[in-house]
Amino acid sequence: MSRPVPNPGILDIAPYTPGKSPVAEPGRKVFKLSANETPFGPSPHAIAAYKSAADHLEDYPEGTSRVLREAIGRAYGLDPDRIICGAGSDEILNLLAHTYLGPDDEAISTTHGFLVYPIATLANGARNVVAEEKDLTCNVDAILAKVSPKTKIVWLANPNNPTGTYIPFDEVKRLRAGLPGHVVLVLDAAYADYVSRNDYEIGIELVATTDNTVMTHTFSKIHGLAALRIGWMFGPANIVDAVNRIRGPFNVSVPAQLAAVAAIQDSAHVEKSRTHTEAWRNKLTEELTKIGLTVTPSVCNFVLMHFPTTKGKTAAEADAFLTKRGLVLRALGNYNLPHALRMTIGTDEANELVIEGLREFMAQP
């Protein structure tokens, strides 16, 4: 008997696995540190704006997210007509893939790049080409070496999840200069708000000066609106026009738009989160290193720690040990990092408990 057959590439996709939320031992408080969520939640102004939409849920959203695009434009000094909003930046990444990839095309991502990249690539029948990283960091020369006449997109998370590493803006510009003009360079800046390095740039300059570069961003991280699924893209007029032709007309809800507008205007809330993150990022790196773990230098709101392969000291055993104590970290086997755990920077209490727990774990005979 015949049955429907999925398009080429669909069955090659490994489904995305989100951070787990298991139950700890009885009496233990659970701290979810597996999904890079902010410990501060959203701005109170964003919550109020979200609630204010409840009286008009019968109305469709304005079809282009105009109010939100204008707010983003004011915040970043951008032309709102060159901004697209989506249901999380994930939707925008998939829209870009759908617009520019098809069978026999190729897209390049890095060894430990965000898992949505190969999913979006394969879903459109294209081939996912992996460029090797160096020290868990994007290697521009490795990417350029993988470029072929079939290459249509290069995906670059800068900074990168789950490694927490980044490349300086000069390297991003070198990458753009080395790519053919028909290749779209996608700069995924989901974690840009946490970076405090002088040689980093979110990507606006490149987008503003080229016809083949886009930058995506999200309200899920420092703004604490992950549940509402809101992301955005800044791009050249030709790419914005093409993507808008397949974008759903009501893809961002009114409550989400209003909350995002309020969130982007609350600079004090953002700064509180940024300051907390930087202080704890430094402290966690120092304390975990003292315990005997290797920590990849991070510029994000998480740290990546590497464990020995010795029985009794492995990442899997550490994960189980911490989970029983209500400390939920992210195992990274699906990112080809089986000996590492990623920890979201949480509250003071959660961070101290992780340090204490790992100190106890590593001290076991």
Give this prediction's pTM: 0.94
pLDDT for residue 347 is more than 90:
yes
HSE toward the beta carbon, residue 210, CA cutoff 13 A: 23
pLDDT digits (tens, 9 = 90+) for 200-254: 999 999 999 999 999 999 999 999 999 999 999 999 999 999 999 999 999 999 9
Report whether 358 contacts 291 (CB < 8 A).
yes
Give me the chain's average pLDDT, please: 95
Convert the pLDDT of each residue in 159-195 to its tens digit: 999 999 999 999 999 999 999 999 999 999 999 999 9
Q: How buried is residue 76: exposed, middle or buried, by Cβ count under 10 Å (0-12/13-18/19+)?
A: middle
Residue 294 pLDDT > 90, yes or no? yes
Radius of gyration of the chain (CA): 21
Residues with Cβ < 8 Å from 3, sequence gap 6 or more?
A: none
- Cα–chain center distance at 24: 27
What confidence tens digit (pLDDT) does each residue in 99-127 have?
Answer: 999 999 999 999 999 999 999 999 999 99
**Bridge partners of 217?**
232
The whole-number pLDDT of residue 258 equals 98
**Which pLDDT band holds residue 359 (cuts at 50, 70, 90)?**
very high
Gap between the Cα atoms of 288 and 282, Å rounded: 10
pLDDT in tens, 68-85: 999 999 999 999 999 999
d(CA 286, CA 75): 34
Where do the domains of the chain lie, and which CATH numbers do they carry?
Answer: 19-41+268-363 (3.90.1150.10), 44-265 (3.40.640.10)
